[in-house]
Amino acid sequence: MYHSWLDRWDERRARRGEEGKERTAVVLDAERAFPGAKKITSLEEFCVLADHAVADPAFFDEPSGSDQGFQRQDGWLKFSSGISTDIEENDVVWAKITESGSFDQALVIFHHWNARSRNRQIASFFSRNGITVVEIAMPYHFERSRPGSLHADYMLSANLGRTIQSVRQAVLDGRKVIRWLKGEGYRDISVLGMSLGSWVAGSIAALDPAVSKVSLFLTAGSLADMVWTGRATRAIRDSLEAEIDLTGLRRAWGPLNLENYAHRLARPDLDLHVVIAKRDKVVLPELSERFIQRLKDVGARPNILELNCGHYSLAMPPYILLAGLSLKRFLSCTDKARRT
């Protein structure tokens, strides 16, 4: 009875999130996705560029000379993004810093798609436990929102190239913050990603050796599969499926598939924590399980918490409390304890 009510609650919450989501044209926009690419006209050409990006270890590396221009004031960090777009507001990155009074550990948080606000409760909880929290605005979110938009439609959409550009921009921005934290003297850097934010956090952890711990809430490997099957992305699938099938989308968004970086997430000096919701209709549990199995196949030993709730109801007690306590234990583990 209770879980039937919970499922209905999640569905009502999903319907509220559909405001402003409409079908749009499929656009390749390879010039946005792949630095130096020329204008192309076919999906096959786009997929060839995507294949090259997956194989390119420098695809998520930042442009040289991008470490300048940090401004810190009244608990905020502001800097220019390493990628320039056609939305001026999006090219300035804002991050809220909640200090712990210690330089032992910092946690960088990447929120879910269309997040309306940062989470003061989470930041306060961890800062009281000795962890400085940095809540970064992903592209087209919070202070970076596109003027007039009802949701972050430029972050994830049927524009294949802009979606890759946006996730890549989020990764580069996050890596820039991590370098700044290291320069400030923080010893251990962890990243937390929630839903779409988990693709960003996972990519950063796979590519950046400065990250020692990564926690992925409501995650999977293939972003293409999540969009194709998820409750929150029906409008995007409706836009895509007249011109592209799931197999083609998987290849086109190959650079955004965490399964392609599983071997890097399995590096011995990185600890993994995964929280999945067994009643999730946005990131289907079978996609999460496939990703976890892929991690295990390449030698990773993720710390996994499964909760019997939905995507949105994870934010409700008791589930959010259980997830938060699990994350606290994970972040509090010492190097020695983690590896015995």
Query: Which pLDDT band, with edges at 50, 70 and 90, does 340 fall under?
Result: very low
Q: Residue 283 above 50 pLDDT?
A: yes
Residue 331 CA to residue 283 CA, distance in Å, equals 24
Rounded to an integer, the average pLDDT of 30-38 is 93
User: pLDDT for 180-193, tens place per residue?
Assistant: 999 999 999 999 99
Query: What residues are paired with 72 via a beta bridge?
Result: 77
Q: Give the rounded percent of residues in the chain with a pLDDT score beyond 90.
A: 84
| CA–CA distance, 221 with 202 (Å, rounded to integer) | 9
Task: Specify the pLDDT at position 280.
Answer: 96
Question: Which residues, 6+ apart, have CB-to-CB distance to 274 below 8 Å?
Answer: 215, 216, 219, 288, 292, 302, 303, 304, 305
Answer whether residue 214 shows pLDDT above 60: yes
DSSP result, 265-285: HT-TT-EEEEEEETT-SSS-H
Domains and CATH numbers, the chain: 2-60+70-338 (3.40.50.1820)
Pairing of strands 271-277, 303-307: parallel
The total of other beta-carbon atoms located within 10 Å of residue 153's CB is 21
Distance CA(109)–CA(57), nearest Å, equals: 24
In the predicted model, is pLDDT for residue 309 greater than 60? Answer: yes
Mean local confidence (pLDDT), 282-297:
98
CA 163 to chain centre: 12
Estimate to the nearest angstrom the gap between the alpha carbon of 207 and the chain centroid: 14
pLDDT value of residue 334: 67
pLDDT of the residue at 2: 80
What ranges in the chain are assigned the alpha helix state H? 2-16, 30-33, 43-55, 120-128, 160-184, 196-207, 223-229, 234-240, 246-252, 262-265, 285-297, 319-332, 335-338
Count Cβ atoms below 10 Å from residue 252 Cβ, excluding itself.
26
Q: What is the pLDDT of residue 67?
A: 59
